[in-house]
Structure 1
Amino acid sequence: MCLKLTSRSALRCTNPMKYYLAYASHDGQTKKIIGKIASILEDNAHEMVFLPLTTGQEHLPEDLNKSCLLIGAPVRYGFHLVPVRRFITNNLVALNAAQTAFFSVNLTARKPEKCTPQTNAYLKKFLVKSKFLPKHCAVFAGALNYPDYKPWDRIMIQLIMRMSKGPTDPKLAIEFTDWNAVHGFAEELAIWQPAQS
């Protein structure tokens, strides 16, 4: 199980790292979050390499033993997107031995009691089932944009929202992401000093 990063520090990283930022994004919110994290890591002098996951067959970086890998994945209809699940399954041994961090994006995290790695069912279930052992992880709420959804998706998401007592107005577009939490996670990653093999 991943650990919560230690409390935030005012110190800045004195040992810049290379960060690979791997992600899949269905409606764009996960990409937006990874972009925010990247900007903060860059402000702290880290090197960034984006690794969009479109199939899950993407190769691991050759210098993974000298770098850090952050993986971001949204939940769609109860499951993290296939490319991320496949990427982790295909590379599980190497990922568990590497310096990895992971974040999940799901609408359940809009609720205060379900927005941490310890309380978010989607994240906990995924980590147990996949046997993925990131060193650090976080969970962030995503966004609802009913006007942009296809009719079938809109109906399904409204049903899910109704079951979880969320908004169902088909004209509604709302961002639930707690950007302060994203910023805090990114700052903690920026001062993370992982052990190097």
Structure 2
Amino acid sequence: MIILVGYATVEGQSRSIAEKIAADIEAAGDRAMLYDIGLGGEYAIGHPEAAILCAPIHAARYPASFVAFVRQEASWLNSVPSAFVSVTLLIRSELEEEREEARHFPDGLLSETGWVPGLVHHAAGALRYSDYDFFKRWMMKRLAGQENAPTDVSRNHEFTDWEALAAFVEDFRIAAKA
């Protein structure tokens, strides 16, 4: 089975997640086509047999290029097994109401585009302090402190649960072949 692993990224964690998904697909014996949606262009073949798309939430929005891609490809995405990985730090919040808000981030995207993925996975992102400019680093450190997240700006902090992600990919592969 050929599975498109499409992603949009802002700071790189969604790309890391998509790369891990593609590696897990390949390790299980299927073919993964890694595709950076943010760069635009066409993917190499007409249409793969399944798709997993990944995108981060920033300021309560998915990247515009990702939304445009999903809108354009919704008909195809709905005709094949498909899944969505929504990436946000809020999913790891200590507050249940914030985690619940994060679980509903995809609702607007799916309503707006008409895409109905078979599975949705919520992955925590990362604090990439080394990639931030001075203002963003200061702002993210303050927000992290409010959430009891790491505030050591001398290094990056990753929160993605790689085991849960691998289980999600395996569940998707099984469902896609059923």
Q: Which range, TM-score by smaller chain? A: 0.7 to 0.9
Partner of 1:82: 64
- Asked if 1:39 is matched to 2:23, the reply is yes
Structure 1 counterpart SS, 2:172 = helix
- Asked if 1:97 is matched to 2:94, the reply is no
CA root-mean-square deviation: 2.9
> How far 1:129 sits from its partner (Å)?
3.6
Higher relative contact order (CA closer than 8 Å, sequence separation 6+): 1
CA contact (8 A) 2:150 2:157 kept: no
Partner of 1:152: 135
TM-score, length-scaled by structure 2 = 0.82
Output one character per residue of 1:110-153: Cα deviation in whole Å (capped at 9) or x when no partner: 23758989961322333234332111111100010213211232
- Asked if 1:183 is matched to 2:166, the reply is yes
Q: Distance in 1 between matches of 2:21 and 2:141?
A: 30
Partner of 1:7: none
Output one character per residue of 1:79-133: Cα deviation in whole Å (capped at 9) or x when no partner: 1122211101222233223321111111011237589899613223332343321
Q: Percent identity?
A: 27
Partner of 2:93: 111
Closer, same or farther in 2 for the Cα pair 1:117/1:30, shift >3 Å?
Answer: farther
Q: Distance in 2 between matches of 1:116 and 1:40?
A: 27
Letter in 2 for 1:193: A
CA contact (8 A) 1:24 1:54 kept: yes
Structure 2 counterpart SS, 1:192 = helix
Letter in 1 for 2:115: F
Structure 1 counterpart SS, 2:83 = strand
CA contact (8 A) 1:57 1:86 kept: no
Structure 2 residue runs of 5 or longer lacking an equivalent are: none
Where do residues 42-61 of structure 1 align in structure 2 (5 Å cutoff)?
Answer: 42-56=26-40, 58=42, 61=45
Closer, same or farther in 2 for the Cα pair 1:129/1:193, shift >3 Å?
Answer: closer
Closer, same or farther in 2 for the Cα pair 1:116/1:159, shift >3 Å?
Answer: closer
Letter in 1 for 2:104: A
Q: Distance in 1 between matches of 2:124 and 2:164?
A: 10
Partner of 2:5: 21
Please say which of residues 73-82 and 176-185 is displaced more in the overlay.
73-82
Closer, same or farther in 2 for the Cα pair 1:164/1:61, shift >3 Å?
Answer: farther
Aligned length in residues? 177
Q: Distance in 2 between matches of 1:104 and 1:140?
A: 6
Partner of 1:68: 50
Structure 2 counterpart SS, 1:63 = coil
Structure 1 residue runs of 5 or longer lacking an equivalent are: 1-16
Closer, same or farther in 2 for the Cα pair 1:37/1:177, shift >3 Å?
Answer: same
CA contact (8 A) 1:23 1:53 kept: yes
CA contact (8 A) 2:90 2:102 kept: no
